[in-house]
Amino acid sequence: MNPSTAGSQIGQPNTTAIVFFLIFVSITLAITYWAARRTKTTSEFFAAGGNISAVQNGFALAGDFMSAASFLGIAGLVATSGFDGLIYSVGWLVGWPVVTFLIAEPLRNLGKYTFADAVAYRLKQTPVRLSAAVGTLTVVVFYLIAQMVGAGNLIHLLFGLSYEMAVVIVGAVMILYVLFGGMIATTWVQIVKAVLLLGGASALAVAVLWKFGMNPAALFNEAAKMYGPEVLAPGKLVANPLETISLGVALMFGTAGLPHILMRFYTVPNAKAARTSVFYATGLIGFFYLVTFVLGFGAAVLVGRQGITAVDKGGNMAAPMLAEVVGGTGFLGFIAAVSFATILAVVAGLTLSGAAALSHDLWSHVVRKGHAPEAEQLKVARLASLLLGVLAIILGVVFKGQNVAFMVGLAFAIAASANFPALLLSMLWKGFTTRGAVASMLTGAFSAVLLIFLSPTVQVELLGHASAPFPLKNPGLVTIPLSFLVGWVVSLLSPEAEASRRFAEVQHRMHVGALVPPPVVTPPGVAGSVPPGIPEAPHKV
């Protein structure tokens, strides 16, 4: 089968794309108006009042996680590299069982709005929250840059708008979502986006398979004929075993440390719903990655690698070009609008998690020492959302034309190195201390930034140097163990009696989900007692 040689409409204004985009924005702004009338408290702004069901949160988690990098990037990697393009999707997907079994329930039971709530539960609030905010805001900013630059390039190619105009539109609409609708609006935007993305990608995959008699093996055989049997074998994209392991652990544990993902577990009513929502999200995301595998090979066969890289050397336009080949400019317009919706939803989630770090962690607990009135917290949260939105627009314009692949890698490396070790140690180790948490988070964040800068990704690919001081493109293999090690050693050197004493309280609340322990059976006439350190306030299980 010969690749399509028809002239592509990519890079020219597409009426269908504009119409679908306007419909999506209209629907989501209506959702924002509805949500704004229900967002009166900080709990509703940051956690939707804890009233999101497990199924709804599962779709929202999937919508928050399936970014344009997942849809466009993985399809492009598979199209240009073959089987090895799946390394990112496998790394991201296997991170979800870690979230299911280690993170979801304990986080929901221990925290309120941010992952720092869980880390700081039995430790000193100010230093832990300051350190957590450093990691959170670094992840959010680099992730925002990648999404905004990606949005500018994508809309420039698919809608025919200027890069700057595309960045401003994405930023403005996202600010409206978060500023007025908070987590309620963001959740429903993510649900709508997840349904559109899954539906659009599935329809595109079916259209591809239809050309091969609905037989995936026929598609893969055609790819092997065109590009050789190695296209179906691993080892082309990442040949170095250490490189593969380092990238894999960063993607896997980075998923369990992303602040905008962890924040979603506070939107459900209880820990069981948190765990169940991850189950739904894992199924949806796994299905989506299987679909992108078909899209990648379909693009390689039906569009051709040369045609894909001629439009975008990174291969990111593989899926939209495939849509144009199998369904014409109308289908291209729909997929383009879905891609735009994907970026909007992810950017909204990122902005909200950044606002939570600024308002809840820094302002309420560090500046105001936990005494900020409700109205003040909500006002600061909205101001933080506005500032982050404006910052995202500015950074998107400033970084125009830059290779942003290393920013996504950096975001995952920081999340895996700074956030995940401290979160896990605070839940599982009695001897973990405030100084250990601070040292672990700061070491993870700064070592990840430093080693990414010294890696071939920056030194060779961006700066054009002949070699790099640090040999691995992703530092996860070094920075994640380093963060655990530093946290362990510093905790041993600085024991903290209060943190150790409250570990039993953490264990009880983490597993049971209630602040009040089970009734103590006592002999008749002897008063029962509640173990010291456990508050007697009711907690919804």
Q: Mean of the per-residue pLDDT values for the chain?
A: 84
Alpha-carbon separation of residue 41 from 113, 270, 413 (angstroms):
13, 19, 34
Whole-model pTM? Answer: 0.86
Question: Residue 330: its pLDDT value, please?
Answer: 83
3-state secondary structure of 241: helix
Mean pLDDT of all residues in 322-329? 87
3-state secondary structure of 91: helix
- 234-268 residue pLDDT tens: 766 666 788 888 888 888 898 889 998 999 999 99
Burial class, 81, CB count within 10 angstroms (exposed 0-12 / middle 13-18 / buried 19+): buried
Lowest pLDDT segment from 75-79, 310-314, 370-374, 486-490: 310-314
Q: Which amino acid is at 313?
A: K
- 124-138 residue pLDDT tens: 989 999 999 998 998
Question: Residue 3: its pLDDT value, please?
Answer: 64
3-state secondary structure of 463: coil
Question: Residue 514: its pLDDT value, please?
Answer: 56
Question: Residue 55: its pLDDT value, please?
Answer: 94
| Residue 11 in this model has a pLDDT that exceeds 80 | no
| Residue 303 in this model has a pLDDT that exceeds 50 | yes
Confidence of residue 528 (pLDDT cuts 50, 70, 90): very low
Q: How far apart are CA 31 and CA 185, in angstroms?
A: 6
Q: Which residues contact 541 (CB under 8 A, 6 or more apart)?
A: 270, 271, 512, 513, 514
Q: Which has more confidence, 534 or 76?
A: 76
Mean pLDDT of all residues in 283-297? 91
Which phi and psi angles does 393 have, rounded to 5°?
Answer: -65, -45
Q: DSSP characters for 132-201?
A: HHHHHHHHHHHHHHHHHHHHHHHHHHHH---HHHHHHHHHHHHHHIIIIIHHHHHHHHHHHHHHHHHHHH
Mean pLDDT of all residues in 169-187? 87
Question: Residue 403: its pLDDT value, please?
Answer: 57
Confidence of residue 539 (pLDDT cuts 50, 70, 90): very low
Instruction: Give the rounded percent of residues in the chain with a pLDDT score beyond 70.
Output: 90
| Residue 65 in this model has a pLDDT that exceeds 90 | no
Rounded to the nearest 10 degrees, what angle do helices 15-36 and 125-159 cross at?
150
| Residue 12 in this model has a pLDDT that exceeds 60 | yes
| Residue 271 in this model has a pLDDT that exceeds 50 | yes
Dihedral angle sign, alpha carbons of residues 466, 472, 475, 481: negative
Question: Residue 541: its pLDDT value, please?
Answer: 40
Q: Which residues contact 198 (CB under 8 A, 6 or more apart)?
A: 62, 284, 287, 288, 291
| Residue 336 in this model has a pLDDT that exceeds 60 | yes
Spatial contact of 322 and 160, defined as CB atoms under 8 Å apart: no
- 446-496 residue pLDDT tens: 999 999 889 888 888 778 888 889 998 889 999 999 999 999 999 999 999
Q: Which amino acid is at 85?
A: G
Mean pLDDT of all residues in 61-87? 82
Q: How far apart are CA 485 and CA 490, in angstroms?
A: 8
Residue with tokens 């037989």: 215
Q: Which has more confidence, 327 or 1?
A: 327
Alpha-carbon separation of residue 500 from 179, 433, 436 (angstroms):
40, 8, 13
What are the structure tokens assigned to 186, written together?
């963001």
Spatial contact of 149 and 396, defined as CB atoms under 8 Å apart: yes
Q: Which of 203, 479, 505 is nearest to 327 (CA)?
A: 203
Question: Residue 207: its pLDDT value, please?
Answer: 93
Question: Residue 404: its pLDDT value, please?
Answer: 62
- 384-405 residue pLDDT tens: 999 999 998 998 888 876 656 6
| Residue 2 in this model has a pLDDT that exceeds 60 | no
Q: What is the number of other CB atoms lying within 10 angstroms of the CB of residue 13?
A: 11
Confidence of residue 533 (pLDDT cuts 50, 70, 90): very low
Q: What is the number of other CB atoms lying within 10 angstroms of the CB of residue 30?
A: 11
Question: Residue 5: its pLDDT value, please?
Answer: 46
Question: Residue 276: its pLDDT value, please?
Answer: 92
Question: Residue 527: its pLDDT value, please?
Answer: 43
